[in-house]
Copies of this chain bind each other. A is one copy, B any other.
Amino acid sequence: MRVAVVGATGLVGRTMLRVLEEKIAPNTPIDVIPIATRRSTGKSVFFFGRKYTVRAIDEGIPAVDFALFSAGSEASLTYAPAFVSKGATVIDNSSAFRMDPKVPLVVPHVNPEDIRDHQGIIANPNCSTIQMVIFLKPLLDAFGIEAVDVVTFQAVSGAGYKGLFALEAEEDGGFYDHTPFAKRIHRNVIPQIGGFKEGYSTEEWKMINETQKILHTKLRVNPTAVRVPVKVGHSEAVHILLGSTPPIEDVYRVLEKAPAVVLLKDDYVTPMDVEGRDEVFVGRLRFHPDNPRLLSAWVVADNLRRGAATNAVEILQLLMEE
């Protein structure tokens, strides 16, 4: 099986290689083709004990079975169709095709059936959206949901290596010239991820729109997305108005059976606790004292794995099963 990873030297690209190594390579030999922009050629990456030299994206499109893209929207728009016309199925982690009605937007634990209608490209959702819908889906099915208020605490690695470098430089008393953040992030929090349109940031619009597409409902999500000085791990305070009033034990029962969910009930984890894990950790579950439909939770996941690479590789596994 030939698999190209486009953006192989980025944070998510490297994590994709690691997750492929762990989950696919032991059973299905993979011939991996790491690809990046001109800037990164000459670099090499290790995969399953072998060293691979990174190839430049403009050197020509190789024929592969699957291509995992995580090199930004522009690279996806330019090169993904070329991979498809050479026979590949593309799993794209950028936002380029996510809201395209012809492209399925898939979280295998939530809407695996949507993958069937693909025309060569399957979109991997936004990191904050993936961990939220994995938590929401079983509740939606069991109890109905009328509205969701969500506030995110997003790690700097969500902005790639530049985000990590910015935090580290500032911690050392310096400043990183290519910081992706609008303000200093060390000892600070910044309520802006992407640009603003009608008052909501790009990240917030993704959570509003992608959630509806994945869950096939007009569910109203009201997000505030905030960058925090954490390296890896997105946390979300999720406040849900359910469509019914189940006892908390029924909520526990549903979430205990939910795929990819670790239920912590009253307890909680912090982002520092979940680095390297693939599950979505759901804690601090509680109903409001004055409203038995208002359920709140603290939801944490590794943004590079669960929020990006692991979901992409699970899409690949779904495609392999077909």
Contacts and interface: CB of A to CB of B under 8 A. Distances in A.
Contact of A226 (B153, B196, B266): B153
A199 B286 contact: yes
Contacts of A235: 189, 191, 226
Contacts of A218: 290
A196 B228 contact: no
Contacts of A149: 149, 239
Interface in A29-58: none
A273 to B, nearest CB: 8
Given A198-B289, A289-B208, A237 B191 contact: yes
Copy total for this chain: 2
A215 interface: no
A225 to B, nearest CB: 9
Interface of A: 149, 151, 153, 167, 171, 183-184, 187-192, 196, 198-200, 208, 218, 220, 222, 224, 226, 228-231, 235, 237, 239, 266, 268, 270-273, 283-291, 294, 296, 298
A249 to B, nearest CB: 13
A197 to B, nearest CB: 10
Given A237-B224, A239-B149, A286-B199, A268 B192 contact: yes
13 contacts: A167-B187, A188-B230, A189-B270, A199-B266, A199-B296, A200-B289, A220-B290, A222-B291, A222-B294, A224-B237, A226-B237, A228-B228, A229-B229
